[in-house]
Amino acid sequence: MNAPLNVLIGFVIALAVGITGIGGGSFTVPALVLIVGMPAASSVGTAFVFAGVLRLIAAPFYLAGRHIHWRYLWLLLQGAVPGLLIGTLFLRLLSKSGGNPVIVVVLGVILTASSCITFFSRLQNRSFAKKNSRWLPWLALPIGVEAGFSSAGAGALGTVLLLNYSEMSPPEVVGTDILFGLVLAVIGSLFQWKFGAIESRVLLQILEGGVPGVLIGCVLAKRVPARKLKFVIAGIAIFAGLQLVWSGSRSMAVKRPTDISVRAAPKPTN
């Protein structure tokens, strides 16, 4: 394993998490599978713990700045936590090694399309959450399911939802979503640890770069004007969505020839 490369991967992902709250799972799982070469199941578990540690470090910065909307956080968790448990159970019952690549592609398309809404004010409804808060748990339910199934999307989809359909400022969106992702990461990590799907050596290496990265990201976030921060968040979310589409498509392309060769292989003769 290339330790310096793993440290660099951890730093870059953590920098994005510190600034925008996005990237804990959306970037980490594809990076661990495609660059580091880890099995998908271990990547999901390792990404859960990595994202949890990053958000635990970032949370005090946003708590100190009072950039947390506690009511929306509670409503999101009401739907996302049960969804996380459902997604984790599906992952184990179906014996999938890190989730179905088709689901990853669909998530990437949804994330990319929804993030583009940030650049079109006519498609936004900043009063939606305030007037229809009862819908937040239901909107968060599929986010939790996807997080449990692949560890990706909790931070990105939650951020996009709050950014375009609530009255919160961009710093409040990031702070609320960091705590939202932290709770899901802690619960998800406990399940993954029980199943033994965590690569400790790689985790320590990406954390070596991730800890300073998230600290620098939190400091930089305070210096970015709110309007610019909004577009930075949307840009990183779009990149995360395209990354998921690419990694999921690549997984399907690699899987198909293997399946064909297995089916076509002649049976051994005695």
Per-residue pLDDT reduced to its tens digit, 32-46: 877 888 876 677 778
Distances (CA, A) of 213 to 8, 55, 75, 116, 219: 9, 12, 30, 26, 10
Per-residue pLDDT, averaged over 211-234, amounts to: 84
136-150 and 101-116 are packed helices; what angle lies between their axes, rounded to 10 degrees? 140
| Better-scored residue on pLDDT, 221 or 68 | 68
Domain ranges of the chain: 3-254
Residue 29 has a pLDDT of: 77
The pLDDT of residue 110 is above 70: yes
pLDDT in tens, 120-133: 877 778 888 888 88
Q: How far apart are CA 121 and CA 106, in angstroms?
A: 24
pLDDT in tens, 235-246: 877 887 787 788
Q: By three-state DSSP, how is residue 153 classified?
A: coil
Contact (CB, 8 A) for 19 and 215? no
What sign does the dihedral 215-217-218-222 (CA atoms) show?
A: positive
Contact (CB, 8 A) for 50 and 206? yes
pLDDT in tens, 69-85: 999 999 999 999 998 88
Residue 260 has a pLDDT of: 46
Instruction: Say if pTM beats, i.e. exceeds, 0.85.
Output: no
